[in-house]
Amino acid sequence: MITRLVHKSLADRRRGLLGWVTGIVGLVAIQMAVYPTVRDSASDWGQATESFPEVMKDIFRITDYTSETGYLSTELLSFMVPFIFMGLGASWGSRLVAEDEEAGTADILFALPLRRRSILGARAAAGLTALLLCAGVFVISLAVGARVLDMSIPLGHFVNAGLMVFEVGLVSFGIAALVGTSSGHRGVGLGVAMGSTIALFVFYSLAPLVAIFERINPYNPMQWTLGSDPLLEGFHADTFAYVISWLALGLVATARMLDRRDIAG
């Protein structure tokens, strides 16, 4: 029964999931297509990026822009792809139960011979599967593009990048799951999750410039994820453990909240 519920959750949102996948592939393809131009005029691009204000270079962590890792880190991992995964995680997390409440089908869902927590777990498993699928597509897109352009970045480093954006998605998923389930409104869950993760991203980005943000950065989930340089440094087991702990606490709190709520049919 739980397996069927996971499959149904994924099947019901297959078109939306296809849209996310298409967007990720398209974004990687566009940025990969631009890189040969940057590589062929490395000296000009190097001078251009050196002329950027230090504030901009600090915020976007721009270092050695014309190198393979520097270019991909700046163009894909410093802003655009993490925001895609913030939205993806928030979208799936906010719908765990709230979607059924808003559609008036929650009474049917909870009439199944399953505990509420089992249903929540099945929905969460579907959301995490969607996140993992999109992260895998991101890794494959990078690997294919790198092969076409004869880049020297090892496949393992692309896997690290995929894990990083997957972790970003987990952060927003956990927030959206808790808020969406407790409020019964997916719009509230989506809005709070996106607002929170964007605020965390801003704190992380401005940390080199604002002393108080720098002091709280070790406790900022964005530092645990985006603060690593996966294309150069590799996998950070400690940061992955922090994010998994964040998600686990969020889902436990969500389950407790769901047990105590009167679900509207």
Q: What is the DSSP string of 56-99?
A: HHHHTT--STTSHHHHHIIIIITTHHHHHHHHHHHHHHHTTTHH
Residue 193 domain flag: yes
Provide the pLDDT confidence category of residue 58 given band limits of 50, 70 and 90: low
Task: Let me know if residue 54 belongs to a domain.
Answer: yes
- Which pLDDT score is estimated for 162? 94
- Name the residue range of residue 60's domain: 2-260
Which residue bears the tokens 């009474």? 107
The DSSP symbol for 184 reads S
Q: How confident is the model at residue 9 (pLDDT cuts 50, 70, 90)?
A: confident
In this structure, is residue 146 part of a structural domain? yes
With respect to residue 13, please indicate whether it lies within any of the assigned structural domains.
Answer: yes
Q: Is residue 255 part of a domain?
A: yes
Rounded Cα distance, 170 and 52, in Å: 33
* Average pLDDT, integer, range 149-174: 93
User: Which residue type is seen at 110?
Assistant: F
| 135 inside domain | yes
pTM, two decimals, is 0.89
**Does 265 map to a domain?**
no
More confident residue, 224 or 2: 224
Q: Is residue 18 domain-resident? A: yes
| Domains: count for the chain | 1
